[in-house]
Chains A and B, each alone.
Chain A
Amino acid sequence: MGEPLVVATQVNKWFGPLHVLKDVDLTVEKGEVVVVLGPSGSGKSTLCRTLNRLEPIDSGTIEIDGVALPDEGKALAKLRSDVGMVFQSFNLFAHKTVLQNVTLGPVKVRKVARQEARERGMKLLERVGIADKADRYPAELSGGQQQRAAIARALAMNPKVMLFDEPTSALDPEMIKEVLDVMLELAAEGTTMIVVSHEMGFARSAARKVAFMDEGRIVEVASPDRFFEDPQSARARDFLAKVLAH
């Protein structure tokens, strides 16, 4: 703990005329879970996507484990392999079985032997509770199962940090828990995680820090207890009043 793993400094990002990230500073330490909260359109997804350069930034710097994000190319690909990403819409490879989804990265990027990758993949699928679906195609799984498969796929790379962009937002209520349980377990094991999520329960029990975004800025960073009991900014109070009303 205490060692910074992801450091974003004065990050700015525009989509055309739209200024979506404004002087964003964020530091995530090893083993830390940071939950990013904020209203729709505040830039949470964009921030998440800049951290592995799925979106390039216009100014500022982003470092992962002391290395600045390189430009598009081999070096960037290598760095991305250390940053796991879980999407709201799962994005499992539709033409591959669940196990093939999980082994693709290790085999093609890490050059792990196929057999070994399969064995480790099966262990991961067991861990997320879908080993029996290993040979199924994504379309044959429920949303919750697909998202757990996607988490296993990201974990298969042994990433230094995991990014989650609203991993449960596309799920039916009864499936949210099975995904959150997996994430809670990861958090408990000391996985470094950056999680965009409106799951307050998860934020409270797993997050070390909550980062609250509004209109492209990180307005407030606090422990979950402090953030939920006593938000400092009017924006955050407003947001919490709306979210907790539901």
Chain B
Amino acid sequence: MRLVLDNADLYLAGMATTVALTLLSFSAALVIGTVVAAFRVSPVPPLRTAGTLWVETVRNTPLTVLMVLFFFGFTKLGIQYSAFTSAVIVLSAYTSTFVAETVRSGINSVAKGQAEAARSLGLTFPQVLVRVILPQAFRTVVAPLGSVFIALIKNSSIASVISVVDLTEVADRLNNDTARPVAVFLGAGMAYLLLTLPSGFLVGVLERRVAIKR
């Protein structure tokens, strides 16, 4: 415990990086995932195929592999992103597939009559989706999206494999210096809990606030 407290500044900096990775990636993943979900329910077959391909390939590849491939692969191609930017891109892409599947299940849970009523008013497919279906779909998937968010907080630790100095990387380096893995990683674990537990609580609050009366 002393060891952790003595290095509180390092842990805090690592937490800040973890939070930044998570928030940036989640925002992007929400946008990408929603678009992909829209593709997957669209009446246009090529869009549906593209959406399915994206989800199935990205989701079914280990995050570590994606992280390393993207960071070193693009460097090889002469495109250089910083480790942090690379991590955000890869985490966004990876998380977008889970967001897409979650949002799609939300879309499927909206009663068919809602879309029919919207179409009969003369709304176009994108309008039906944006004005009628998605607002209801999101409300029903707040809890599973919350789980995706919490998974992302934890998944962001994979950024350490490309040396982004997040919580995990901080702990890793401290461990290299001190050779006290248990104390060092207990500290990291508690720091992660400080992020994940309140997130879970906030998700619960949000879920109750946006619930649709039926």
Binding site for B on A (CB under 8 A): 52, 54, 72, 74, 77-85, 87, 89, 91-95, 104-105, 108-109, 137, 139-140, 150, 153-154, 157
Among A77, A82, A93, A109, which residue has its beta carbon within 8 angstroms of that of B114? A93
Contacts of B135 in A (CB 8 A): 95
Binding site for A on B (CB under 8 A): 43, 111, 113-114, 116-124, 127, 131-132, 135-136, 139, 212-214
Q: Is the interface of B mostly helix, strand, loop or mixed?
A: helix
B116's nearest neighbour on chain A, judged by CB, is A54
Contacts of A85 in B (CB 8 A): 116-117, 120
Contact A81 B214 (CB under 8 A): no
Contacts of A92 in B (CB 8 A): 117
Contact B122 A94 (CB under 8 A): no
Among A77, A84, A104, A154, which residue has its beta carbon within 8 angstroms of that of B119? A77
Q: Once the chains are docked, how many angstroms separate the CA of A139 from the CA of B139?
A: 16
Give 8 pairs: A residue, B residue, CB < 8 Å, sorted on A: A54-B116, A54-B119, A77-B124, A79-B122, A108-B127, A108-B131, A154-B121, A157-B122
Minimum CB–CB distance from A199 to chain B (whole Å) comes to: 21
Contact B122 A80 (CB under 8 A): yes
Contacts of A52 in B (CB 8 A): 120
Q: Once the chains are docked, how many angstroms separate the CA of A95 from the CA of B210?
A: 10
**With contacts A87-B116, A94-B212 known, is A80 near B121, CB below 8 A?**
yes
B128's nearest neighbour on chain A, judged by CB, is A77
Q: Once the chains are docked, how many angstroms separate the CA of A74 from the CA of B214?
A: 32
Q: Once the chains are docked, how many angstroms separate the CA of A53 from the CA of B131?
A: 21
B210's nearest neighbour on chain A, judged by CB, is A95
A110's nearest neighbour on chain B, judged by CB, is B122
Given contacts A81-B122, A104-B118, 4 further A-B contacts (CB under 8 A): A80-B120, A92-B117, A95-B139, A104-B121
B132's nearest neighbour on chain A, judged by CB, is A93
A82's nearest neighbour on chain B, judged by CB, is B122
Contact A109 B136 (CB under 8 A): no
Contact A77 B116 (CB under 8 A): no
Minimum CB–CB distance from A209 to chain B (whole Å) comes to: 23
Q: Once the chains are docked, how many angstroms separate the CA of A108 from the CA of B121?
A: 10
B113's nearest neighbour on chain A, judged by CB, is A91
A52's nearest neighbour on chain B, judged by CB, is B120
Contact A104 B213 (CB under 8 A): no
